Amino acid sequence: MQRYELKKAMMEYSSDDEDSSGDEMLNMKAPFSQDSVTQKVTGKKSESDGDSDDEDEEGSPIKIKKRKNDDEDVDLDDGKQSDDNNDATTNEVDNDAIALADATTAFKIQFNNQRMGTTNKLYWNERRQKKNVTLYPIRVVPRDEVIGLFLKEWNADTERPVQYIQYPHRQIKRDLGLYNVVSLKSLTPYHGDGPTDSWCAKRFQQYSKQLRQRLKGLTEIDLMTEKTFLGLVLEQSLKEYENEKELSSLFDKHAEENAEKEDEQAENDDEDVDDDGSGGGRAKRLCRDDTAISEPLRPGDVIEYLSPVVGERHRATVMYINPKCSPILRTDHIYTLLPDDHHVKRVKRKSRGKLHDNPGGRFRAINSYCLKKEGNPNAVKEIIAEQTAQLQARRQRAKDDLESKMDDGGFFPRDLIR
């Protein structure tokens, strides 16, 4: 039975081979031939085409790894650069703090709560020696600030006493705050042609170059300290200017109600003086603005003012006025010299030889009053002579009292008292 089935199967297989055309046998490749190898490689490549396309779309693994390394390098460079920037910023902040601390300490020691004056007192002083030009920051000081200093006599029309406001570097072998007398022609406003809230940048650059040449071992921090020191001086001067401006506006506000009364009093004062028998009327007073009626000021009037140095309130009697000199006023306080732009208030006015209260008075700059050259030009000398005589009289009284006590005690060495 099994043989029968096997024979039948072989007959069916042979019949199938006869029906085929034999092309399949022709197309068959011998194993391990060149064509078969080519077909295998081609087939493998064709099969991998789809995968390679997918990999190209998503990016090859090798390229992704390289890009990742590049990103890491860029991140490292950025981190290093940011660290350098942070270190530079930290050092800059530290230098600014050191400069500010040193400048503040020197400012407090040198000026010790002293009044700086308004910004119109700050200048650059230029010294010319042959072809060289040196710069120094200075402030013009009032006369009473240099009393007792050995300065040369100066012409009030062409010269001014000044104080050098240079930072006291350790290389400078001199005392702080030297004073001198300079010519008005050598002074240039502190701001130059720039804004008024800072020193002239061009001149400060020249000044810094000058410091480097003259002071050996000067560092950038020293120059920053110098600039900060000058900034503190200017800041204090601006504050005083604003305070004076606010004070003046405050008094002006309170005096608005009495403005008309004040003008009438000024006219009456002029009429009183015209009628005193002097003849010829009065010469025209010097005013800042002839179109506006301003308050007059004359010898014998009592003024009130704040001390330029200490800031205390004082009263003094006007002795002599000369609008073309500096200072304009001389009072019975002979050791206090008021700057021309100092604010004073007339509290009493002298009329027909008597003093009268002046309720409409307000604080004004001295050079804004209506002024005329009048009074006793030798008033200061007479006051000094009078004070000297009073001092000698007190000494003589003390001497007589001592001699009297010695006579009463029986001990009288007159040779020791001369």
* Domain spans in the chain, listed from the N-terminal domain onward: 119-252, 286-380
Query: Six-digit token pair at 159?
Result: 């010269």
pLDDT number for residue 66:
44
Question: Which carries the bigger pLDDT value, residue 91 or residue 194?
Answer: 194
Q: Is the predicted pLDDT of residue 90 greater than 50, yes or no?
A: yes
- Integer angstrom CA distances of residue 330 from 99, 224, 262, 284: 43, 43, 24, 21
Q: Report residue 318's pLDDT band, with 50, 70 and 90 as the boundaries.
A: very high
Q: Are 329 and 316 in contact (CB under 8 A)?
A: no
Q: Are 324 and 373 in contact (CB under 8 A)?
A: yes
Q: Is the predicted pLDDT of residue 395 greater than 70, yes or no?
A: yes
Q: Are 306 and 312 in contact (CB under 8 A)?
A: yes
List, for residues 106-140, the tens digit of each pLDDT value.
888 877 777 778 888 899 999 887 778 889 999 99
List, for residues 244-265, the tens digit of each pLDDT value.
777 777 666 666 655 556 556 5
List, for residues 139-159, the tens digit of each pLDDT value.
998 888 888 788 888 888 899
List, for residues 358-384, the tens digit of each pLDDT value.
888 888 888 888 888 888 888 888 888
Q: Which CATH number fits domain 119-252: 3.10.100, 2.30.30, 3.30.70, 2.60.120?
A: 2.30.30
pTM: 0.43
Compute the distance between CA of residue 149 and CA of residue 217 in angstroms, rounded to an integer: 33
